[in-house]
C-alpha cells in the first residue's frame, strides 16, 4: 500500500533506462557528485528524489512504460513527491496535451507539438541565457525536437524562443525540448538536482566547466 508521505531519506536521482539518452545523463550526474541509478522496472522507483525521462522515441517509451508496469508506479511516486525531468521525448510524455494525439502521463500543464522543427536533418545547436538556471549562456542541442506551444496555470517559462517555449517547469516537473546531456554544460542537471532538494558539489558559476568531459565520456556506461 502506498503511504501519504515518504518514509526514508532520498538522495538519488534515477534515469529511466528503457530507451534513449541514458548513459549521457548518468555521466552528467556523476560529474556533479549526485548518486544516480538506472530505472528499468517499477521497483527501481523506490526511494528516489527525482527521475529523468530521457530523449528518445516517445511512442516507444510510452509503450515500454506500460508493458513493464512502470507508468502506474511513477504516477504514485509523483504524488508522494518524486520530481520529474523530461528531455525532448520525455517532455512529450509529461505534457498534458500533445497536438493531434492523446496525452500519456499528463503531469505538467503544457501543450506540445512533436517533430515541430521538421525531420532529423533539421536538428541544430544554439545557445541561450537562462538566468534562473545559470549566469552564462547555455549550449542547446535540438534533435528532431518538439515545441511547447502553450503553458497553463502553475507553469513557469524558463526559455522562450521565437514562437515557442523551449523549457518550462512546475513545482514538481521540469521539461526541456533540447538535450542538455549532449553538451559539456552541467547547468540543467545541477538545476534539477537542486529542485530535488539535493546538493551538487559544483557551484552555479562552474556548471559550464569541462570536469572533464568530451563527446565520448558517456561511453564508459555502455560497458556496465
**Measured between alpha carbons, how far is 159 from 68 in angstroms, rounded to an integer?**
34
Query: Which listed residue (88, 169, 189, 196) is catalytic?
Result: 88
CB 130 within 8 Å of CB 138: yes
User: Is 35:10 a contact under the CB 8 Å cutoff?
Assistant: no
Catalytic residue status for 181: yes
Distances (CA, A) of 91 to 9, 26, 147, 177: 27, 18, 10, 7
Buried b (16+ CB within 10 A) or exposed e, 28-45: bbbbbebebbbbeebebb
Query: What single string gives the DSSP state of each residue in 25-65?
Result: HHHHHHHTT-EEEEE-SGGGGTT-SEEEE-SS-HHHHHHHH
Exactly one of 25, 28, 179, 189 is catalytic; which is it? Answer: 179
Give the DSSP letter string of 64-85. Answer: HHHHTTHHHHHHHHHHTT-EEE
**Phi, psi at 210, each rounded to 5°:** -70, 120
Burial class of 68 by CB neighbour count within 10 A (0 to 12, 13 to 18, 19+)? middle
Residues marked as catalytic: 88, 179, 181
Amino acid at each position: 500500500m502506498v503511504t501519504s508521505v515518504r518514509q526514508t531519506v532520498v538522495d538519488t536521482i534515477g534515469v529511466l533506462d528503457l530507451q534513449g539518452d541514458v548513459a549521457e545523463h548518468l555521466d552528467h550526474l556523476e560529474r556533479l557528485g549526485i548518486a544516480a541509478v538506472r530505472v528499468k522496472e517499477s521497483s527501481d522507483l523506490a526511494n528516489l528524489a527525482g527521475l529523468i525521462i530521457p530523449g528518445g522515441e516517445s511512442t516507444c517509451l510510452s509503450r515500454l512504460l506500460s508493458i513493464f508496469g512502470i507508468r502506474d508506479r511513477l504516477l504514485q511516486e509523483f504524488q508522494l513527491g518524486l520530481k520529474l525531468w523530461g528531455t525532448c521525448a520525455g517532455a512529450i510524455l509529461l505534457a498534458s496535451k500533445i497536438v493531434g494525439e492523446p496525452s500519456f502521463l499528463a503531469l505538467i500543464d503544457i501543450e506540445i507539438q512533436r517533430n515541430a522543427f521538421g525531420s532529423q536533418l533539421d536538428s541544430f545547436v544554439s545557445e541561450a541565457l537562462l538566468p534562473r538556471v545559470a549566469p552564462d549562456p547555455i549550449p542547446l542541442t535540438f534533435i528532431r525536437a518538439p515545441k511547447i506551444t502553450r503553458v497553463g496555470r502553475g507553469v513557469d517559462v524558463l526559455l522562450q524562443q521565437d514562437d515557442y517555449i523551449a523549457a518550462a517547469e512546475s513545482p514538481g516537473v521540469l521539461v526541456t525540448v533540447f538535450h542538455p546531456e549532449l553538451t559539456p554544460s552541467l547547468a540543467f542537471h545541477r538545476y534539477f538536482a537542486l529542485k530535488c532538494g539535493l546538493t551538487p558539489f559544483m557551484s552555479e558559476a562552474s556548471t559550464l566547466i569541462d570536469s572533464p568531459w568530451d563527446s565520448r565520456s558517456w561511453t564508459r556506461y555502455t560497458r556496465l
